[in-house]
């Protein structure tokens, strides 16, 4: 009886490792069947090498050993074209990669142009299966678009004034090239980091040219500013002169019209008695020409010289004083 119990106990002990192994296996299957997808990723699910689904952020279940999950980063990533930064630093400048940076211009000169490309995965399935190395294809397409664009500009334009135009045209060409090749990548941004001659001597010469151009632009801007300040002032002065001239014109016209009215009224009186009017006009004219001068009127028959005292006496002297001074009358008596 005791021997039988011992045999049963040993049987139970022999089953314990099997149960533990089954528990571990079940836990492994459960944990290997669950997977999570973050906000910055998309998951491509395949079964026997065929894509069955694309998952976004969340927790999902897969069939172990049958389904496979491939995570694809969908955040914006950067790519350096024509240069490489020092170590892990992302700051510019870095070491020049001549195979990517050196371009030929329309005037058969060489120029180093560096770009920074920002891109992201737009189609994870095409990104995984349309090509073996999509990033390398992207870099080659970018380099080709840059070369085909820079060849249309002179070295002076590429280094100075045409950077924005080159950047815009390269982006348009690259966007079209990615649509044609369809590798599941789209452009977020493309920036020209720098453009300079490949040698230091030429670089200094172009820097001097750029400085001179900036000085010319500054002078032009200062001249335009002075023009904008002076033209309104000149226009205001011209308006003032025109208004003064218009006022003078109206004043002259009014004066002339008044004189015409006065002459017309005078003419009416003149027509009534021309002789008297002529004499009055004559006397008034003499008064205006010789102001303050005493005028003595006689009949032209005076025989002797009139005393000088009569020309210097004031207006307030009486008639008796004048007679006492010996004024000569018309008949020549004292």
CA dist., res. 89 & res. 91, Å (int): 6
Cα–Cα distance measured from residue 304 to residue 285, given in angstroms and rounded to the nearest whole number: 29
Strand (E) positions, the chain?
34-37, 41-47, 50-55, 58-61, 67-73, 77-81, 83-84, 95-96, 102-104, 110-121, 185-196
Q: What is the pLDDT of residue 117?
A: 94
Render pLDDT for 260-288 as a digit per residue (tens, 0 to 9): 988 888 788 778 888 887 888 788 887 77
CB 194 within 8 A of CB 114: yes
| Predicted pLDDT of residue 46 | 92
Name the 3-class secondary structure at 12: helix
What pLDDT shows up at residue 301?
Answer: 64
Would you state the pLDDT for residue 6? 47
Alpha-carbon gap, residue 254 to 248, rounded angstroms? 10
Instruction: List the one residue out of 101, 17, 32 whose CA is nearest residue 68.
Output: 32
How big is the chain, counted in residues?
A: 334
For residue 9, what are the β-bridge partners?
Answer: none
pLDDT of residue 333: 40
Residues sharing a CB contact under 8 Å with residue 150, sequence separation 6 or more, in sequence order? 103, 104, 105, 111, 113, 158, 166
At a CB cut-off of 8 Å and minimum separation 6, what does 325 contact?
A: 307, 309, 310
Q: Which of 163, 162, 123, 117 is nearest to 142 (CA)?
A: 117
Q: Is 102 helix (H, G, I), strand (E, B) or coil?
A: strand
* 192 within 8 A of 115, measured Cβ to Cβ: yes
Q: Which two tokens stand for residue 154?
A: 């002179």
Q: What is the pLDDT of residue 103?
A: 87
Which residues of the chain register pLDDT less than 50? Answer: 1-7, 9, 308-309, 311, 315-334
Measuring CA to CA, how many Å separate 274 from each of 268, 279, 302, 309?
A: 10, 9, 29, 37
User: DSSP code of 179?
Assistant: H
- pLDDT at res. 313: 53
The per-residue pLDDT for 2 is: 47
């Amino acid at each position: 009886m005791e021997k039988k119990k011992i045999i049963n106990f040993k049987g139970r002990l022999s089953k314990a490792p099997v149960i533990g192994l089954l528990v571990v296996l079940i836990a492994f299957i459960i944990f290997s069947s669950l997977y999570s997808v973050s906000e910055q990723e998309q998951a491509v699910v395949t079964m026997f090498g065929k894509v069955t689904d694309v998952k976004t952020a969340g927790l999902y279940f897969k069939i172990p050993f049958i389904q496979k999950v491939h995570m694809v980063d969908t955040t914006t990533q950067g790519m350096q074209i024509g240069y490489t930064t020092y170590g892990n630093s992302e700051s510019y400048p870095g070491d020049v990669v001549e195979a990517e940076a050196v371009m030929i211009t329309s005037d058969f000169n060489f120029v180093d142009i560096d770009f920074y490309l920002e891109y992201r995965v737009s189609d994870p399935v095409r990104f995984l299966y349309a090509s073996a190395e999509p990033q390398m294809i992207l870099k080659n397409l970018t380099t080709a678009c840059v070369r085909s664009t820079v060849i249309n500009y002179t070295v002076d334009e590429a280094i100075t004034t045409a950077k924005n135009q080159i950047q815009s045209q390269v982006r348009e060409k690259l966007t079209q090239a990615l649509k044609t090749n369809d590798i599941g990548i789209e452009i977020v941004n493309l920036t020209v980091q720098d453009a300079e001659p490949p040698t230091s001597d030429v670089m200094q010469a172009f820097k001097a040219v750029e400085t001179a151009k900036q000085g010319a632009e500054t002078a032009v801007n200062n001249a335009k500013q002075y023009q904008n300040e002076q033209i309104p002032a000149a226009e205001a002065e011209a308006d003032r002169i025109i208004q003064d001239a218009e006022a003078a014109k109206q004043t002259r016209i009014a004066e002339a019209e008044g004189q015409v009215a006065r002459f017309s009224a005078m003419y009416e009186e003149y027509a009534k008695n021309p002789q008297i009017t002529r004499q009055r006009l004559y006397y008034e004219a003499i008064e205006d020409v010789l102001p303050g001068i005493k005028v003595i009127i006689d009949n032209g028959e005076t025989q002797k010289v009139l005393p000088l005292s009569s020309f210097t006496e004031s207006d307030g002297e009486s008639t008796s004083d004048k007679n006492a001074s010996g004024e000569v009358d018309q008949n020549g008596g004292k």
